[in-house]
Amino acid sequence: MLINSLFLFGTLKDKDLFEIVIGTNIKIFPAIAPGFSVWKVKNAVYPIMVKDDKGAADGLLLKNLTNEAISRADFYEQLFDYYLEPIQVSSLNQTVSTFVYMPQNSIESIQENWDLGEWQTGSAKETYKFAKKVMSQYGFKSTEQLKSELKF
């Protein structure tokens, strides 16, 4: 399966975190995932995207991604048990088939909208530090090894 685009809805919408995890020089476009909302996760700083008939999850569409960029994103997201799933999003007045990271295990959400600005003010610096530590192990350790070491 060829994956060369992603829809981001959470912390990775932050430019600094995005660059730490995925890299630079990537084509980014505004996008919306109709039928979804982005909610807070209980006891976590990252969000979850949930089905919501009345919702429209705001996000970013990354296009023309390299295998390396996808591999880096996988390495980071799979620490949290988020894996790629197909999704349809709207970007620049077009419907686009792409992929999004969704949890594979049950995650307890709080029915309250997650806010990027609130996250940037409260948790971004701590997350950058964590992401730098994690990504320094990319190519050297598997996600499973890192999970074990970080006691996930």
| Mean pLDDT computed over 16-28 | 93
In whole angstroms, what is the distance from residue 70 CA to residue 6 CA? 8
Average pLDDT, the chain: 93
pTM for the structure as a whole: 0.92
Q: pLDDT tens for residues 89-103?
A: 999 999 999 999 999
**What fold does the segment set 6-150 form as a domain?**
Hypothetical upf0131 protein ytfp (3.10.490)
Residue 1, pLDDT above cutoff 70: no
Question: If you ran DSSP here, which 8-state letter would residue 115 be given?
Answer: -
The full 3-state SS of 63-112, as one line of letters, equals ECCCHHHHHHHHHHHHHHCEEEEEEEEEECCEEEEEEEEEECCCCCEEEE
Residue 152, pLDDT above cutoff 70: no
In whole angstroms, what is the distance from residue 21 CA to residue 6 CA? 13
Q: pLDDT tens for residues 60-85?
A: 999 999 999 999 999 999 999 999 99
Instruction: Report strand pairing: 47-63 vs 27-41.
Output: antiparallel
pLDDT band at 49 (very low <50, low <70, confident <90, very high): very high
Residue 2, pLDDT above cutoff 80: no
Q: Which helix (H) or strand (E) holds 132?
A: helix 124-135
Domains of the chain by residue range: 6-150
Which of helix, strand or coil describes residue 26?
coil
